Copies of this chain bind each other. A is one copy, B any other.
Amino acid sequence: MKTATKQVLKHHICCQSNNRISWNLFTSETGHFVGCGFYAKMLFRCWSSAASFFLHKRGLQSLQMVYAEYGDPSKVLHERTEELKPLSKGELRYKMLAASINPSDINQVQGVYPVKPPLPAVGGGDCVMKVEELGPEVKEFQVGDWAIPSHPGFGAWRTCGITTPEHLIKVNSKLPAQYAATLSVNPSTAYRMLKDYVKLGAGDAVLQNAANSAVGQLIIQLARHFGHKTVNIIRDKNDGGKTAEYLRSLGADYVVTDTQFKEESKRIFGELGPPKLALNCVSGRSTLYLAGALAPRGKLVTYGGMSKQALQIPSGALIFKNIQVLGFWLTDWDQKPENRQQRIQMLDELSELALSGKLKMPLYESVPFKDFRRAMEESLTGTGKKKMLVFD
């Protein structure tokens, strides 16, 4: 079964990349006359494969990475080809342009993420699509428009598909596809955390750990754009200043290692004033120091836990400084219908910032969809850069 699906994958990858059909499937294994049954079978296979070819040429056959059970993504994900039906009223057909592999996508396949689409499910969430065909009565989109999913667990790892407009949000088609595919998660996370927790004025300090993460880099750039100062903590073990230099080039005001922060935080916040907002992607002992540095009534917002340890919060900071320890999950924010309009505005603003060069997206490695397994393997082992699947 697995071999068969692999053959189908090769067949379609071949179609996709060389624009011609591999005819292997149409030859009998022996080349001998084996009676009417054989010819009938051969004729049927010939017809179905030719139909598949034309469907695929019209973008009506979707190659997908699917999982039918939770588990190790390198084991449970398998290829599937789906014939796309003619569009019904209110439906539209899209072609995938780019889709990323995020830790949350991996956790979803592993079954350890709170978003659990019904199985079997196409993997992946963040992507950008191009609208290719409109069904009757679709007015929200034009052919050629670009869109990103409006809901989590969309199923991004597929060459094309059919959906309805409420599952999509239009984005600026002038953006590079890789940028557009990541707009909906990391930049939005950075944006909302800077906007929704504390009313920050010009020159107000924002403190963050994991400053070199994708979100961390976007926080630096957005904070600079909004006029805030950032104090950025990176790991003690780093590349001897290159990371700090890169973050400063993005607009970081202070970049310190964990150890430097413990020694210098008093001086830094003596200059800047204590931060009202601290953003945490590490947890563990790191939050002891974030909480300790926060201003009275300051907020510590957690959006990740890279150390895989619980946050440590001193009781005194909660009781006597009245700090608040909160969490942010973009999926939860995105899912609220009342945020839809605000989300569209935010994505427009983020697109403008990216187009004007004020927002550099974190670097990705582009990987053709046919090399999905390598991309996944490297994502699982944490080797190389974050992966962006591209579709020709």
Interface membership of A178, Cβ < 8 A? no
Q: Judge if A326 is at the interface, Cβ distance under 8 Å.
A: yes
Q: Which residue of B lies closest to A300 (CB)?
A: B325
Segment of A36-44, A270-278, A313-321, A360-368 in the binding face? A313-321
Q: Which chain B residues border A283 with CB–CB below 8 Å?
A: 315
Please give, as numbers and ranges, the residues of chain B lying within 8 Å of A325 by CB-CB distance.
313, 318, 324-326
A329 to B317 alpha-carbon distance, docked (Å)? 11
Nearest-Cβ distance from residue A387 to partner chain B, whole angstroms: 23
User: Chain B: which residue is nearest A331 at the CB level?
Assistant: B320
What copy number does this chain have within its complex? Answer: 2
Chain B residue at minimum C-beta to C-beta distance from A320: B114
A53 adjacent to chain B (CB < 8 Å): no
A312 to B291, CA, bound (A): 13
Given known pairs A322-B332, A332-B322, the reply for A317 and B327 (CB within 8 Å) is yes
Fill in one digit per residue for A263-293: 1 if any B CB lies within 8 Å of its CB, else 0. Answer: 0000000000000000000010000100000
| C-alpha gap A166/B305 in the complex (Å) | 49
| B305–A315 CB distance below 8 A | yes
Q: Is A121 an interface residue (CB 8 A)?
A: no
Chain B residues near A322 (CB-CB < 8 A): 326-327, 329, 332
Which of B317, B319, B328, B332 sits near A303, CB closer than 8 Å?
B319
Chain B residue with Cβ nearest A296 = B332
Return A364 CB to nearest CB of chain B, in Å. Answer: 23
Which positions 38-79 of chain A face chain B at CB distance < 8 Å? Answer: none
A323 at the interface (CB under 8 A from B): yes
A209 within 8 A of B: no
- Chain B residues with CB under 8 Å of A305's CB are 314-316, 319
CB-CB < 8 A to A304: which residues of B?
315, 319
Q: Is A311 an interface residue (CB 8 A)?
A: yes
Residue A302 at the B interface, CB < 8 A? yes
Q: Which of A302, A314, A318 has the most CB of B within 10 A?
A: A318
Q: When A311-B313, A312-B311, A312-B312 are in contact, do A302 and B327 touch as well, CB less than 8 Å? A: no
Interfacial chain B residues near A320, Cβ < 8 Å: 114, 327, 329, 332
A310 contacts the other chain (CB 8 A): yes
Q: Interface readout for A102-120 with B: 1 if CB under 8 Å, 0 if not?
A: 0000000000001000000
A sample of 23 inter-chain contacts (CB < 8 A) reads A302-B315, A302-B318, A302-B319, A303-B319, A305-B314, A305-B315, A310-B312, A310-B313, A310-B314, A311-B311, A311-B315, A311-B318, A315-B327, A318-B326, A320-B327, A320-B332, A321-B327, A322-B327, A323-B327, A324-B324, A324-B325, A324-B326, A325-B325
- Taking A311-B311, A325-B325 as known contacts, 18 extra A-B pairs with beta carbons closer than 8 A to each other, sorted by chain A number, are A288-B310, A302-B318, A304-B319, A305-B314, A305-B315, A305-B316, A311-B313, A311-B314, A313-B313, A313-B325, A317-B327, A318-B327, A319-B327, A319-B328, A322-B326, A322-B327, A322-B329, A324-B324
